[in-house]
Amino acid sequence: MSVPEPCLVLDGSARAGIRVGVLQGRRWIGQGVSADGALESLFPCVEKALAQAGVTLADIKSFALSVGPGSVLGIRITALSVRGWCALTPRPIFVWESLAALAHAALSAGEQGPFLVATESRLKRWHALEVGNDGALGVPFEAEAAQLNSSGLRVISASDAAVNALTSVVIVPAPWTSLPLNFQQPGFLRAEARPDALNIANDFATWSGERHRGTV
């Protein structure tokens, strides 16, 4: 999907930290990154990204943000901010899902399915998604680490905590740098006038790795 540019892109889904970028010509022309929480760092990161890009908020033609799964607080702060800006000056809003971004980044890097992608959830649980043999993406689910470990599948994660919790894990960089490319893939983005956090765990599908147990 081609988004109107310049597009202000926000990702508050990480367990800690936030990323903001101005997208123009399929590349970042300004970025603001912080390890602090979204409440403290969203607006400074927006200001930095806009200043680096040499534009103002009034110049932005569209917004794109992650709806998770991930930090509900971070996602809702970015979502409410975007909704507020668009209430003042209507502009299109697009959303993507964090697990899908991680899966597409892994596939682009040459990973072959089947495998799982996973991010930290609450209470030592994990948000995850299965990528099939053909690269098709499954439905997000929440699971204990033991469930993922018993699946027999490689687990791709950008979380450092995965090293101590998951077996057969491959740690990769956060998929932020690949977002401009991913935005061009059909179905990656969707228009959403009133974005909100995706990751209410009770809404996720149940999942079992039983059929994969013992596979390589």
Q: What is the pLDDT of residue 215?
A: 41
Give the CATH number of the domain where residue 128 resides: 3.30.420
Is 2 part of a structural domain of the chain?
no
93 and 190 belong to one structural domain:
yes
pTM of the predicted model, to two decimals? 0.89
54 and 127 belong to one structural domain:
no
Nearest residue to 68 via CA among 103, 100, 116:
100
Mean pLDDT, contiguous 10-residue spans, the chain (216 residues): 93 92 97 94 98 98 95 94 97 97 92 94 88 94 94 93 92 92 93 84 51 42
83 and 183 belong to one structural domain:
yes
Q: What is the pLDDT of residue 207?
A: 52
Q: Domain range for residue 164? A: 99-173+204-212
Is 29 part of a structural domain of the chain?
yes
Nearest residue to 48 via CA among 29, 76, 24:
29
Q: What is the pLDDT of residue 160?
A: 86
Total structural domains within the chain: 2
87 and 61 belong to one structural domain:
yes
Is 40 part of a structural domain of the chain?
yes
- Burial status of residue 34 (CB atoms within 10 A of its CB: 0-12, 13-18, 19 or more): middle
116 and 208 belong to one structural domain:
yes
CB atoms within 10 A of CB 127: 24
Q: Which residues pair with 31 in a beta bridge?
A: 21
12 and 86 belong to one structural domain:
yes
Give the CATH number of the domain where residue 191 resides: 3.30.420.40
Instruction: Say if strands 141-144 and 62-66 run parallel, antiparallel, or are unpaired.
Output: unpaired
186 and 137 belong to one structural domain:
no
Question: Residue 57 and residue 99: Cα distance in Å, rounded?
Answer: 28
CB atoms within 10 A of CB 186: 6
188 and 86 belong to one structural domain:
yes
Q: What is the pLDDT of residue 109?
A: 87
Is 133 part of a structural domain of the chain?
yes
Q: What is the pLDDT of residue 213?
A: 44
23 and 34 belong to one structural domain:
yes
83 and 11 belong to one structural domain:
yes
pLDDT digits (tens, 9 = 90+) for 70-101: 889 999 999 999 999 999 999 999 999 999 99
Is the bond preceding 6 in cis, omega lying within 30 degrees of 0?
A: yes
Is 1 part of a structural domain of the chain?
no
